Amino acid sequence: MNTNKVEVVRDLLNAGADALATDVYGDTPLHALAKFSGDKQSFDVNEMVELLLAHGADPKQPNNEGLTPHDLGDFLALERLDRRDRLQEVVAQTRTESTEGSPRRAL
């Protein structure tokens, strides 16, 4: 697998490039990846998505048309992120319900 493009993006991000930067259409790097994720790539798209997410990219940020990267592409990395977020919500809700229903004891 050719990871040269991923390495270039990693270097740019480490040098201070903004993973939330937008173009005139409000598209972020994640939007651009989503639009071209169906094309044959010479790099691992999901690896690129994970790299951008690690540097603060927001998969829920809409562009000027109101579309998020998730709306535009089918990324395994974003699906895993969604599942993790849903799981965290369920765990938090369960904890809230269990602490609200039981009396607290003083230590």
DSSP string, 54-91: HTT--TT---TTS--HHHH---HHHHHHHHHHHHHHHH
What pLDDT score was predicted for residue 33? 85
Q: Is-above-0.75 flag for pTM?
A: no
Assess whether pLDDT exceeds 60 at residue 1.
no
Contact yes or no for 68/62 (Cβ under 8 A): yes
Section 11-21 average pLDDT:
95
How far apart are alpha carbons 83 and 25 in whole angstroms?
A: 29
Section 36-44 average pLDDT:
65
Where along the chain do its domains lie? Answer: 4-101
Contact yes or no for 47/3 (Cβ under 8 A): yes
Assess whether pLDDT exceeds 50 at residue 44.
yes
The H helix count followed by the E strand count for the chain is: 5, 0
Domain 4-101 listed as CATH 3.40.50.620: no
The mean of the pLDDT values for the chain is 78
What's at 92, amino acid-wise? A
Section 9-25 average pLDDT:
95
How far apart are alpha carbons 9 and 25 in whole angstroms?
A: 21
- pLDDT class for 22, splitting at 50, 70, 90? very high
Residue 58 CB partners (closer than 8 Å, separation 6+): 20, 28, 30
